[in-house]
Amino acid sequence: MHSQKKARFYVKGLQFECTKCGKCCTGFPGFVYLSESDILSITKYLKENIGRFLIKYTKNVSLFHENRYSLIEKPNYDCVFWDSLCTIYPARPYQCRTYPFWKKHVVSEREWEKAGKFCPGINRGIVHSKDLIENFVQNIPGYAIRKFSSDFKKD
Ligand code: SF4
Ligand code: SF4
């Protein structure tokens, strides 16, 4: 049995530079799950009370029997925080900060190229190292689940 890990296709890193086209933030329904630390950062950035933030900007969605918070969308399915650009960019959620280096996109070269058909920033510009990509994939924060809401609402 080989003890060495299988070499990743991105051992030399992957190129990505956001063109700010907004495609991933607009125009179709999706989920932007929030971790506890996302909620804390965004509310700090917006100077918003946590309970009010959760009511105004999030919905509860069920995933693998967990009730998570996800950002709501506008009627045209743009993210609630999209206004020609991300209006909470410095405090944007982990899911947004780590795109497109999500496990499902870096699992194989084929999946990465497939993601590149959607996102024009893929395979362009800055090279992101293997370590950074692995760090993104491996250190996904625990997503905030509904049971935290009563604590948040005391704020
Ligand atoms: S689709 Fe890609 S290039 Fe366009 S805003 Fe999203 S991350 Fe940036
Ligand atoms: S929070 Fe910002 S980066 Fe994330 S989907 Fe919304 S507009 Fe896009």
Full 3-state SS string of 120-145: CCEEEEEEECHHHHHHHHHCCCCECE
Q: Ligand 2, from 45, 86, 87, 98: best to mutate by most atoms within 8 Å of Cβ?
A: 86
Largest distance between two CA atoms of the chain: 55
> Would you state the pLDDT for residue 2?
45
From atom 2 of ligand 2, which residue's Cα is the shortest distance away? Answer: 86
Q: Are 103 and 137 in contact (CB under 8 A)?
A: yes
> Would you state the pLDDT for residue 136?
96
> Would you state the pLDDT for residue 66?
80
> Would you state the pLDDT for residue 147?
58
Chunked into runs of 10 residues, the chain (155 residues) has average pLDDT values of 65 96 94 94 96 93 86 97 97 97 96 98 97 94 70 54
> Would you state the pLDDT for residue 41?
96
> Would you state the pLDDT for residue 4?
47
- From CA 46, how far away is CA 50, in angstroms rounded? 10
Residues 6+ apart with CB under 8 A from 115: 100, 105, 122
Q: Ligand 2, from 88, 95, 97: best to mutate by most atoms within 8 Å of Cβ?
A: 88
CB of 88 sitting under 6 A from ligand 2:
yes
> Would you state the pLDDT for residue 152?
60
Question: Mind listing the pLDDT tens digit for each residue in 84-128?
Answer: 999 999 999 999 999 999 999 999 999 999 999 999 999 999 999
Q: Which ligand is located closest to the Cα atom of residue 86?
A: 2
